[in-house]
Structure 1
Amino acid sequence: MAHEQDPAVEVEEQFESSRRFLDIWLIQLRDPLFSAKAQGPSSQHLSQACHVVVAPTEQDNPMGLLQTPNTAFTKLGTLLVYLVNDIDRQAKQMEEHLFPGLMTFGEDAGAASGESGEGALQIELSRFLPTLLEAQVRLAQLGAAAGNLLGQLGALCAEQLRKATILQGVHARTAFRGLARALGTMVRLDCLAAQNAHIPHAFAMFKRLLANGTSGTATPASEPEPSAAALRETMAKLEEQFASRSLFRRFVGMHSARGSQTVEACSSPSFLNATAGIIKQEVVAVMGRLDSYQERPGDRGDLVDLLALAVLYSRLCSDEAPFDRKTMRLVLEIHQRVPVLPVFSGALLHIASFLSQNLPPSLDTIVPPTYVRQAVALRETQLQTLVDDLDGFVHSSALASAAWLAQIDGLIFPHRSQEASVTRLAGALLRGLHLAASLKARAQLVIQLHALQKAPLSRACLRQLSHLLTLIKGLQDACNRQQVSIAEALPPTITHMKSGAQGLLAATSASVRLAQKRAQTERPRLQSAARREKLQAALRDAQTAAGAAQELIQGPLRKVVCTALETCIDALEATGQVAALDLDRLHDTLYALESLTYFQGNMARATDCSFLYFNLEILGAALSEACARPEEARKLPYMLAAFLDGHRLLGTYSGSAGPSHEALDAELLGIMEKGLLQWLCQEVQRDLRLHLHASREPRLSLDSSAAALHSAAPLLRLPPIPLHTRALCISDYVERHLERSFYNHAALTPADWQTYCLLASLAQERFGLHVQAPALPEHQLSEGVDVLELLSSVRSFAAHFAYDLPGQHFVERVGAAREVKHLRTLGMNQVAAAIRTHGMGLADNAVNVTYQFLARKVNMLSEFLLQDAVRARLSKEAFDFESGRSAGGSAPYSMAAAQRLTADFRRLGSAPDGLPNLDHLRHLITEIGNAMGLVRLVRAGSMQFLAAALQQVSGSGHSQAPTCFAEAAADNGAWPASDAHIAAAKRLDACLRDLQARSSHSSDYLAMLVHVFAKEMSGPSHSHLSTFHVLVPALTMNMVEASLLAKEALGRQWRVGSPDAAFTDDGFALGLAYILQVLQQNAGYDALQWSSAVLQHYDRERSTIASAAGQATRASAERAGIGQWLSGLVLREGKEEALAAEKENAALLLTKADRSSAEHKLLSDTLACARACFCHVHA
């Protein structure tokens, strides 16, 4: 093929183009790369948006790779390479596309609708059908390739063909491994189908759906249903392949049945001996590497393949060609070292059960009857041994990982390409790959054995497992961080290793040529011509194989090239002219070349922890360890990254509505919240509250605050952890939680908003959390107390609220408040909003309820004044005052008379509620005034609502009649209105007329309530109320004393023990004015001239106090002048102290008189304003 380019030139051009691309790309990324290295390891590197991958372009056709003078070797080698490469390609495609779907099929459907839910499983199976059909085709190709390869190996080992080729069956290791790979793939499919119970159930329900769908449709007999029949046939074939769990058994049974061509070709003792030798050699090699840092990523998978090949071997053996006992004993004893083997992700192969179910009865002589039971019992001992050795294994693995990380960081450095560095780099990369594989195998084995034995994981074991997962993902993170440098260093490293392999092959070829020359020149005496001819043929074959390998190694490495190289090395081994040590070096070099060529993919598979997708509960248990050891917080991103590998199963689950990435992220976040984040939020919030409490209590010492800071700070300093569909930032989560918590608490207790603002600022100071202060929305009075609730309990409202007459609103009393720091209010806007919500009937309802309340209270007032002692005392007081006026005097009612009347009432005892009589009467009048204030407030709110409502209607003024919308709708000729439009217009007109009528009349509810009781009280049965006005002075004095005490209590710091604290209580004045108006005693009260009497009394009291203070000052001055010569006497000191006390007492009396006078003046003015509310009412 002269037109093809030389392979050496091709590889040089490929390497040069890759080098130029990397140089240009590295120039652009050099600065960001150095900055990333300076930052050190971080969890952000575990999931990067851009990956640099160095991998060759694959070529599946091996034609033309082997060009040798030996035509038989060229043809046979090309055929074997083609079959092995085809098996590898089909197996890889099924592992990437079919296996994840089989693992996760039906999970969401079973969770959503249960095991018996047909709809979800049928829909999911229909969406999964394209993947199954593609896998069916690939499985057929895999079976055909495996059958062909089995036949070729059988023919290769036949006696009549052994001299026709240099590649003898006993040395065809590559071909046997390819056959084992095909058989292992079938075993994996059977294991996956056996593990997922949804698959056969889905096929059964889908067939029932097809039967119901076709039987229910009536079609003519002449019209067949080819599509339905074809679908049923296809579903039957798919069910037989993927739900029967017998792919491997059918293949083995088909090719081991007596009379088949395969048995005829493969039943020879030479083939069986070659197969046994390959199995023994491979098992010994793999078992020697297991559980050590030399374990390769595919070793445990190779054991699955070898077990499948051993079963086929045992089935092909017969009485004429018995099985090799040593080989089969070696296979049967595998479970003593490895109890279970990972098939794919979380699926397992139970070695003892698999062998006992598939080995033929002829092996009963070496398989004990209790083989499976012994294996099951041995698992407990193996699990305990693994748990006991886990601590030491983790410790040594941590040391090995640290050493590898330090070595890889030192070797991968820009502008460093010496030969020694390249050699050490290749060895370091391989050691890292083997280390990751051994760590993953140990962690997977421990977890799956615990799940298989249903044994709980201890806290120590959980801690060690979390360390193992951290080490695994730490190795992956190191490769991700150095991926640019690794991508830059891999091509020269591979080129250098290829040069080494070429040197080995060249040395081998040179030794063979030397042996050929020696054989031609030297002829031993005792050597026959046949033996000389055989030796020369072997040397020629060795030279041919070495030359073919040299040509292959010069070109670019691909999977098919590696398979061809392995075939050439097998041919070299078959000649027997190459030393075993040289062959081992060639095998190791070829393995290293293949591993480094696909290093990034191999490392990703070696650190793939997708098996944890089926063990998510371990994350919750491991998080409890993270809470107990917060100093190890940096391990959390790596541990979470291990559980995020489950997305790889979902990412390749194409063509089905299986578990979604969002669902997995949500489940992981739920586990994180339950196991860590909620605890962290509680810990931070508790620390903040304790610290704030300690700052307010200096004597309190809280050592736990430092412990909380030590436990929470490492977790809060973690960078954002990338998930698949979102990112988790622990500090942001805690900030949002604190913001919600502070806002909710501040909304429930608005008076404590400043406390939560302090906690927010304290979070910034102690933990660096940027927590927004709880900014509550502005409060609206219209959104406060429910008016309907108050009207349903007017009695409670009148007793628990204080009325402010000028501001026309109510304030809740401190003693009746639900909490001391928050008092409810009721104002005009709230009433207007309530009327807007409930309608104008609310005002009428308020008047009716108030009327019933007033009837009870006025009756109580009448009964109080009807008492003989009260009536007699008031009658005498009124008679004395009228007698003084009839004698020609015009003096007002004196303060002394009011004080005597107060003293008389105190001597009368207490009311039924335990209060003094005057206090009881004051409370009664205050409640009456509060009820009248509520009526006044409702009237004002209704007027406000009517004014606001009428502003929205055009022509709604008092001087203009409102528009008739019904007539306008009926007279519209251009657009005639329907009946519904006219009915709506009439309803609108009625509403507007009602608003107009209410706003024009504006019912005076106060006058109504005055008239209804004035008629009743004017009769002779209530004559005892005629002296009520005489009691007003004593009541005002009692009210002034109560007001002074309430305002003093309001000014104190702690108001918990002062339920009567208030700044206003105008309900007493309004109630007093209402009673005077109802009893028609305003003139009698005015005749008392009580206001002027109070002013005169306090003027005289102030003058008396001032004169007494002046006399004391003058006496002090006189004594000071007389007693200068007695300055040393003790008597003078005592008198001076007495004079100072007299002055202080006079000042206190003057202050008290001023406050009492001001309070009397305020009450008098408030009473005048309250009486003005009834000035237009004529009883």
Structure 2
Amino acid sequence: MITGSDWDFDRLEDGTHKIAGEVQLRAYGRFLEDYASQLQGIQEALEDCMGDSWDMSVDPIALQFAPHEQCTLLQLIDTDNKVLNKVLTVFTTLCAEVRSLQSEAKLKYYETLMFYGEGDNSSIQDGAAQVMMGSLLPHLQELGCFIKRCEEVAIQIVQQLAAVYSSPRESSQVMNAVDIHFQDVFDHLGDLLLILVTLDEILGNHGPIQDHWIIYKRTVVSVHHDPEKFGVKRERLATFEKILTDLETNLLTGKIFQKAVEQPFDNKQGQVSKNSALADEFFLYLKNSVNDLDTKASERLDSNYLLSWVKLSALYVLNFQLFGTADKKLFKQLWDLHKKIPVVTLIGNVLWVPENFLLAHLPVIAKTMDKKAQQTLVTSRSNYLHQKSLNLVRDSQTYCLQTFSWMIQMENSLKQESTQLKLDDLIERCKLFLQGVQFACTISHLLKTVTNLHVSLAKPMTKTAVIALCKMIELLKGIQHMYHRHFMAVSESVNHVIQHLSYRALSIIATAKKGLVQDKRYSEKHLDILSSLVLAEKALHGPGTKERHLVLRLALCTANQMRTFREDELVQLSTLLRKLNVICDIQEKLADACDCSFLYWHRVVLPIYLSHVYESKSDVQNILYMFCALRDCVVAMERVRQDSVRSILKESFEKEVTRYLHEQVIQPLCHETETNLRLHVHSHLQLDDRNPFRVGIEDNSPILRLRPLRFFDKYIHIKGHVEHYLEETFYNLTTVALHDWKTYGEMRTLARYKFGLETVEDHLPSQTLEQGLDVLEIMRNIHIFVSKYLYNLNNQIFIEQSSNNKHLNTINIRHVANSIRTHGTGIMNTTVNFTYQFLRKKFFIFSQFMYDEHIKSRLIKDLRFFRENKAQLEQKYSYERADKFNKGIRKLGVTADGQSFLDQFRMLISHIGNAMGYVRMIRSGGLHCCSNAICFIPDLEDIVCFEELCAEEGLSITCQEAARRLDQVISNLTRNFAEGTEYFKLLVDVFAPVFRDPKNMHLRNFYMIVPPLTINFVEHSITCKEKMSKKNKMGAAFTDDGFAMGIAYILKLLDQYTEFDSLHWFQSVRDKYNKDKLALTKQKSVASRDDEKLQQTMTLTARRLDMYLQEFDLLYYSLSSARIFFQKDKTVPEVNPNTE
């Protein structure tokens, strides 16, 4: 540090330097804040889940900021006043024991008893009741011991109170208890009695337990008659029966509470019933508590606030049992409370009805009560429910406004950095924290009372009421979420609030203590008060645990003697302690207030609620809160101690809620989304008016944007369910009709852009829009296909012969290639096998026709004529002879539609030829498919072995196996592309030996029937082509190369190409028509030009001759082309389909 006179600044400049420094410091602080916010923004951009807010549905690590300490009660209650230490230690221990019993009852017994018999009962078999009761028996035995312990604690509390409030004349007086009022001890005694009342109500109104108990007892009695049969000793059975009798007497008769208050409370030190001081104190407590309950009903900072009425009623009964006096005025005050609180929900759906309880346990007063007064209560309860049901919507809206306003205030308050908090900000936060708990308690009370009253009174609930109640459930969970989202800020603020409240309480205590110290008078009471204040200060100086608060309140009970505190100080101190009690334990208080496990017993409202959410589409995101409420039911189920019952309960509840969600939301959403997409895709058709400005539009996007709903140990993603439904629908419908692939592809794309639905591609092979029949369908119905379709040899296409539709279906190589890609190359061999079976049947008919005597004799006669007149005919088969054969067949008879036997034989050959054309198309389609697949192989001449390469690189066995399969696929593709399969050769080789067998000699003259067949075919072909220009196109056709294909195939099977060529048939036909045309030309030259009719006739004749000659030429070309396919020992390679 530099010192010296040279650095002596003017003192007036010191303030300026300080201000400048503060400015720079603030600027630097702002820079750091901006930099931190930028860093946080980058982190949130990189990681979607990062942020200050905590999500309740994904909360793997919970933050518990309830205070804890290792200090024991003896260390905590340590003053110089030993008597005071002893008294407070005893009462604190007893009160802590009551809290422990409360916790044990809640965790171990309430849910175990309430959920008994719940779950899926549809599969219950005979003997299940006995098994269920048998599994409950150990817990009933534990419950019996628990009740005994409660009774003992109750005796201890009463006897300790009697010892404190003993008469000054008695030698056993512990301390001077004048003006000391242990309200907290009486409160805890009421809590203890409340446990017994709750157990009474649960067991007394539990039908399954009562029914199963009767069945179980009967079973035990039946075992008693023959114990040896069941392997049970008679002595043990007698002991077991005694245990059952004790359990029934103590637990199932509804007398748990009655037995506890009727037990003897007197001890050796004195009789409690004769302790007037205790009786006065007890009565004073009841009177003050009833007044507080009546006047402070609005200050609900505890979800169990309403249970105070039950506790007071139980304590009133105990007071009557102890001292035998029943103050009628006090009883009237208790009785009149029903006007404000008609019933109290003890737990779940268990209700406490005041008049039933009071009249049952106070028979003396019951005699004085008339029936009218009791009936008034029932009527009042119904009126209360009716009024609440009418006002539910209004109440719901009111609570919504209050809660939303509170949430906004919470958001604004918690935005402020905790380091910059001022005292006013701290007071405001404390007020908001308490206000949230108060709202939650009020809403929870209304929900439980209204829902349980509807069930109790068997009153139906309107849909409007259901929606309003569900809206309040959403509010309840929304309040809880508000705390949870800001738990970091809340937990930090809570400590500051506790410190502030403790400071204010300490200030009041310090003021009172200062006044006592200044008072120089000495007395034991003076000393007790001072010691109590010291102890209260000590309790406030530590963490705000429940034990410290209990010690604090008990210490203040002993300190407030002789008006230690002024009236205003006492009211202020009580308010501070009440706030401190809630703030220190705010997590537990909030969890109790927002506990929606009662919803399990009213889950029938879920379908109505879910249906409303889907139909209204408003506030859809609130369904997340409803599922948070349903998760509370799961927490309650987890407390069921029977493992088998717990698993059945959870499984049944999960299935039920999931079914409701699927039926009311997911399924309608799936169907509506699909319909929306389908109508959008087909909007070019004439559909109903879908203008959104006229007919409106259903916007399902809010439901689809919902986050996944967490339920049990899984998430329900509604958007994922819709995506899966669309994937399944698109896949199944595309599989059924592959030609619709484009439509479903458009729907898939539209779903992505319109609703953000990402569906998985089905990867099914697409088909062209003019798909026609599938190869698989043709294969299964090949007999129908060859008769309904006509083959074109040159274009290699099948055309539908006739159809009722506007257009005819066609099948070409692309269609077949697509089908082969769809079903795999294995279908090619299967198709040839089916074709073989078809040809076998057709050739049987073919053989029968050729064996016919009329046909056989005519063919032999024509063959003999040709051989005998070969020279005169110039080696050419006579056209006239063939024409005579064609016409002569008609004399044998015709069918109903005018077809001769030769017409039918021609059709048979055409069908055979169509089948062969189909086989040719299958082979071409296969090559087309292979060529498309093989294009990805760079060099067919130099194919590397991937398996060897993987082995050289030392890759894993899995990779080598994959490489080996890839080599097999490439090898298969290469072989199929290079060689193909000679299906024609196979079909020739399989039938040729049979056709050429000497047993089938009747087939050897087939080549002689070809000329008449060609004449028959040409006449039929010309008739079909002429129908093309007519209006009625039935029977019209422009190609039928199946006939040429069939003739070529059969001639090959019979090896009669040479014999047929020896007929020089087509040369004979050409000569015949040339001769006719020459004669017509001569006739034209001779005929008179003036005779128009003769000229027209000759022109038509010439045109007809040209037509016939052209048809014969086309047939000749087709037959010549078809014969190329059946050349000896080889098949002509097909033209590459890509060049067609």
- The TM-score normalised by the length of structure 2 is 0.72
Equivalent position of 1:253 in the other structure? 262
Equivalent position of 1:689 in the other structure? 678
| Residue correspondence of structure 1 range 185-334 to structure 2 within 5 A | 185-200=195-210, 208=219, 215-216=227-228, 241-255=250-264, 264-266=271-273, 268=275, 270-290=277-297, 292=298, 294=300, 296-316=302-322, 318=324, 322-334=325-337
Q: What SS does structure 2 have at the residue aligned with 1:54?
A: coil
Q: Indicate how the Cα distance of structure 1 residues 1171 and 246 shifts in structure 2: closer, same or farther if over 3 A, else same.
A: same
Shift of 1:81: 1.8
Letter in 2 for 1:752: D
Could you list the per-position Cα deviations for residues 818-851 of structure 1 after superposition, in whole angstroms to 9, with x for gaps in the alignment? x98999999999999799999xxx98x9989876
Distance in 2 (CA, whole Å) between partners of 1:125 and 1:690 is: 58
* 1:714 counterpart = 2:724: no
Query: Which of 468, 484, 491 matches 1:487?
Result: 491
Shift of 1:1166: 5.8
Distance in 2 (CA, whole Å) between partners of 1:559 and 1:1075 is: 109
Distance in 2 (CA, whole Å) between partners of 1:398 and 1:918 is: 92
Equivalent position of 1:926 in the other structure? 910
Shift of 1:763: 0.8
Equivalent position of 1:773 in the other structure? 761
Q: Indicate how the Cα distance of structure 1 residues 1028 and 911 shifts in structure 2: closer, same or farther if over 3 A, else same.
A: farther
Letter in 2 for 1:477: H
Equivalent position of 1:1035 in the other structure? 1017
Shift of 1:692: 0.9
Query: Which of 526, 534, 540 matches 1:547?
Result: 534
Query: Which of 335, 338, 352 matches 2:341?
Result: 338
Q: Indicate how the Cα distance of structure 1 residues 348 and 865 shifts in structure 2: closer, same or farther if over 3 A, else same.
A: farther
Instruction: Please tell me whether the aligned partners of residues 542 and 575 of structure 1 are also in contact (alpha carbons under 8 angstroms).
Output: no
| Residue correspondence of structure 1 range 571-720 to structure 2 within 5 A | 571-573=558-560, 575-654=562-641, 656-660=643-647, 661=650, 664-694=653-683, 696-697=684-685, 702-703=690-691, 711-720=699-708
Instruction: Please tell me whether the aligned partners of residues 345 and 351 of structure 2 are also in contact (alpha carbons under 8 angstroms).
Output: yes
Shift of 1:563: 1.6
Instruction: Please tell me whether the aligned partners of residues 301 and 434 of structure 2 are also in contact (alpha carbons under 8 angstroms).
Output: no
Q: Indicate how the Cα distance of structure 1 residues 1077 and 656 shifts in structure 2: closer, same or farther if over 3 A, else same.
A: closer
Q: Indicate how the Cα distance of structure 1 residues 345 and 170 shifts in structure 2: closer, same or farther if over 3 A, else same.
A: farther
Instruction: Please tell me whether the aligned partners of residues 917 and 1045 of structure 2 are also in contact (alpha carbons under 8 angstroms).
Output: no
Equivalent position of 2:21 in the other structure? none
Distance in 2 (CA, whole Å) between partners of 1:367 and 1:821 is: 97
Single out whichever of 1078-1087 and 605-614 deviates more from structure 2: 1078-1087
Letter in 1 for 2:607: G
Q: What SS does structure 1 have at the residue aligned with 2:351?
A: strand
Shift of 1:231: 7.1
Shift of 1:805: 9.7
Q: Indicate how the Cα distance of structure 1 residues 664 and 173 shifts in structure 2: closer, same or farther if over 3 A, else same.
A: same
Q: What SS does structure 1 have at the residue aligned with 2:619?
A: helix
Distance in 2 (CA, whole Å) between partners of 1:141 and 1:416 is: 52
* 1:140 counterpart = 2:143: no
Q: Indicate how the Cα distance of structure 1 residues 717 and 878 shifts in structure 2: closer, same or farther if over 3 A, else same.
A: same
Equivalent position of 1:97 in the other structure? 108
Letter in 2 for 1:194: G
Instruction: Please tell me whether the aligned partners of residues 798 and 810 of structure 2 are also in contact (alpha carbons under 8 angstroms).
Output: no
Distance in 1 (CA, whole Å) between partners of 2:174 and 2:558 is: 13
Query: Which of 1025, 1041, 1046 matches 1:1070?
Result: 1046
Distance in 2 (CA, whole Å) between partners of 1:1002 and 1:884 is: 34
Distance in 2 (CA, whole Å) between partners of 1:54 and 1:777 is: 61
Could you list the per-position Cα deviations for residues 1014-1033 of structure 1 after superposition, in whole angstroms to 9, with x for gaps in the alignment? 456799xxx9x976731323
Instruction: Please tell me whether the aligned partners of residues 794 and 850 of structure 1 are also in contact (alpha carbons under 8 angstroms).
Output: no
| Residue correspondence of structure 1 range 407-556 to structure 2 within 5 A | 407-412=409-414, 413-414=416-417, 415-512=419-516, 516=519, 541-556=528-543
Q: Indicate how the Cα distance of structure 1 residues 848 and 563 shifts in structure 2: closer, same or farther if over 3 A, else same.
A: closer
Shift of 1:770: 1.1
Could you list the per-position Cα deviations for residues 218-254 of structure 1 after superposition, in whole angstroms to 9, with x for gaps in the alignment? 9999xx988x888777666556555454321221232
Letter in 1 for 2:596: C
Shift of 1:433: 0.8
| Residue correspondence of structure 1 range 1135-1146 to structure 2 within 5 A | none
Could you list the per-position Cα deviations for residues 1116-1160 of structure 1 after superposition, in whole angstroms to 9, with x for gaps in the alignment? xxxxxxxxxxxxxxxxxxxxxxxxxxxxxxxx99x9999979964
Single out whichever of 536-545 and 416-425 deviates more from structure 2: 536-545
Single out whichever of 452-461 and 927-936 deviates more from structure 2: 927-936
Equivalent position of 1:974 in the other structure? none
Distance in 2 (CA, whole Å) between partners of 1:429 and 1:220 is: 62
Equivalent position of 1:988 in the other structure? none
Single out whichever of 238-247 and 725-734 deviates more from structure 2: 238-247
Equivalent position of 2:729 in the other structure? 741
Single out whichever of 181-190 and 301-310 deviates more from structure 2: 301-310
Equivalent position of 2:98 in the other structure? 87
Distance in 1 (CA, whole Å) between partners of 2:492 and 2:312 is: 37
Query: Which of 565, 570, 578 matches 2:557?
Result: 570
Distance in 1 (CA, whole Å) between partners of 2:866 and 2:227 is: 112
Equivalent position of 2:17 in the other structure? none
Single out whichever of 671-680 and 185-194 deviates more from structure 2: 185-194
Q: Indicate how the Cα distance of structure 1 residues 57 and 1061 shifts in structure 2: closer, same or farther if over 3 A, else same.
A: farther
Letter in 2 for 1:1070: G
Letter in 1 for 2:614: C
Equivalent position of 2:19 in the other structure? none
Q: Indicate how the Cα distance of structure 1 residues 687 and 579 shifts in structure 2: closer, same or farther if over 3 A, else same.
A: same
Query: How many pairs are equivalent?
Result: 986
Distance in 2 (CA, whole Å) between partners of 1:794 and 1:362 is: 99
Q: What SS does structure 1 have at the residue aligned with 2:609?
A: helix
Equivalent position of 2:1065 in the other structure? 1089
Shift of 1:146: 1.1
Equivalent position of 2:896 in the other structure? 912
Shift of 1:468: 0.7
Instruction: Please tell me whether the aligned partners of residues 926 and 1068 of structure 1 are also in contact (alpha carbons under 8 angstroms).
Output: yes
Structure 2 segments unaligned to the other structure (5+ residues)? 1-35, 768-772, 923-984, 1081-1102, 1131-1140
Q: How high is the sequence identity, in percent, across the aligned residues?
A: 18
| Residue correspondence of structure 1 range 761-1160 to structure 2 within 5 A | 761-776=749-764, 799=787, 888=873, 911-912=895-896, 922-927=906-911, 1004-1005=990-991, 1007-1008=993-994, 1014=1000, 1029-1036=1011-1018, 1038-1039=1020-1021, 1066=1042, 1069-1070=1045-1046, 1074=1050, 1083=1059, 1087=1063, 1089-1090=1065-1066, 1160=1115
Could you list the per-position Cα deviations for residues 371-406 of structure 1 after superposition, in whole angstroms to 9, with x for gaps in the alignment? 655444433322221112212222221122122212
Shift of 1:84: 1.4
Distance in 2 (CA, whole Å) between partners of 1:180 and 1:1036 is: 113
Query: Which of 73, 80, 89 matches 1:78?
Result: 89
Single out whichever of 58-67 and 641-650 deviates more from structure 2: 58-67
Q: Indicate how the Cα distance of structure 1 residues 699 and 855 shifts in structure 2: closer, same or farther if over 3 A, else same.
A: closer
Q: Indicate how the Cα distance of structure 1 residues 236 and 460 shifts in structure 2: closer, same or farther if over 3 A, else same.
A: same
Query: Which of 517, 534, 559 matches 2:546?
Result: 559
Distance in 1 (CA, whole Å) between partners of 2:372 and 2:507 is: 54
Distance in 2 (CA, whole Å) between partners of 1:327 and 1:1174 is: 120
Q: Indicate how the Cα distance of structure 1 residues 631 and 827 shifts in structure 2: closer, same or farther if over 3 A, else same.
A: closer
Equivalent position of 2:961 in the other structure? none
Letter in 1 for 2:994: M
Instruction: Please tell me whether the aligned partners of residues 926 and 1067 of structure 1 are also in contact (alpha carbons under 8 angstroms).
Output: yes
Q: Indicate how the Cα distance of structure 1 residues 700 and 917 shifts in structure 2: closer, same or farther if over 3 A, else same.
A: farther
* 1:1168 counterpart = 2:1123: yes
CA-atom RMSD, angstroms?
A: 5.9
Equivalent position of 2:716 in the other structure? 728
Shift of 1:499: 0.6
Q: Indicate how the Cα distance of structure 1 residues 1043 and 721 shifts in structure 2: closer, same or farther if over 3 A, else same.
A: farther
Q: Indicate how the Cα distance of structure 1 residues 861 and 1016 shifts in structure 2: closer, same or farther if over 3 A, else same.
A: closer
Equivalent position of 1:941 in the other structure? none
Instruction: Please tell me whether the aligned partners of residues 109 and 121 of structure 1 are also in contact (alpha carbons under 8 angstroms).
Output: no
Q: Indicate how the Cα distance of structure 1 residues 777 and 831 shifts in structure 2: closer, same or farther if over 3 A, else same.
A: closer
